[in-house]
Chains A and B, each alone.
Chain A
């Protein structure tokens, strides 16, 4: 199962775009890239996911490289409320790796005024 690598922390100025990288060089063809975030001590919240095409929703954009070995989560206009720990994980089609669902340490994003 693919593991992910993320920088431990990042800062971003309020109103600017936050670009959070994730390396998943051993990802398999049937694995999706998911992003979640955890604000303070709350339960993690789903943000976005993708397989190989770039994706966008009301929260963020996900850019996946052509070789699928890395991806970037983009928060287009970061606000102070986006300060959180962001987790990048991979999940197989039809949840066939459900037993490997570990979130790792993630990236702590701090949005500064």
Chain B
């Protein structure tokens, strides 16, 4: 049981380049999330998904797109990278128990630098 994994761990892009970050979870969770964390700050939600084939915008969605074609995978895409997107990106997944509660499990993060 690997939990939540993220690929790649590190990446350097030039302005205008595109890339896709992959998040995978093996816990059969319905919900998945993408966050970004800038230096010295908390996590901000980019996009999330409440199930296979569904996605929704979080608080800072501009410049990013996502897809959830399979329940276990959640992809985050940057179509035209900008220096302002230099950050650490965390993926998380969660389930809602019978009590209606929700606990998020996080991946190790992807450190992205845009030059």
B53 to chain A, nearest CB (A): 16
- Do residues B101 and A32 form an inter-chain contact, with CB atoms below 8 A? yes
Also in contact, A102 and B45, with CB within 8 A (given A32-B101, A46-B103): yes
Q: Answer yes or no: A43 CB below 8 A from chain B CBs.
A: yes
Contacts of B104 in A (CB 8 A): 36, 44, 46, 101
Closest residue of A by beta carbon distance from B39: A41
B contact residues, range: 20 to 34
- Do residues A41 and B31 form an inter-chain contact, with CB atoms below 8 A? no
Query: Which of A10-18, A21-29, A69-77, A92-100 participates in binding chain B?
Result: A92-100
Also in contact, A98 and B42, with CB within 8 A (given A41-B109, A44-B90): no
Query: Which residues of chain B (90-108) have a CB below 8 Å from chain A?
Result: 90, 92, 94, 96, 100-108
Q: Answer yes or no: B59 CB below 8 A from chain A CBs.
A: yes
- Do residues A101 and B33 form an inter-chain contact, with CB atoms below 8 A? yes
A43 to chain B, nearest CB (A): 3
The size of the chain A interface, using a CB distance under 8 A, is 24
Contacts of B96 in A (CB 8 A): 94-95
Closest residue of A by beta carbon distance from B47: A99
Closest residue of A by beta carbon distance from B109: A43
Interface residues of B, dominant DSSP: strand
Contacts of B107 in A (CB 8 A): 43
Cα–Cα distance between A113 and B108 once the two chains are bound (Å): 28
Most chain A beta carbons < 10 A, residue from B33, B43, B100, B108: B43
Mark B residues whose CB is within 8 Å of A: 4, 31, 33, 35, 41-45, 48, 50, 56-59, 88, 90, 92, 94, 96, 100-109
Could you give 24 example pairs across A and B, Cβ below 8 Å? A44-B92, A46-B105, A49-B101, A93-B100, A94-B102, A95-B31, A95-B50, A95-B94, A95-B102, A98-B48, A98-B102, A99-B48, A99-B56, A99-B58, A100-B45, A101-B33, A101-B48, A101-B58, A101-B104, A102-B43, A103-B42, A103-B44, A105-B41, A105-B42
4 smallest A-B Cβ distances: which pairs? A43-B106, A93-B100, A103-B43, A103-B42
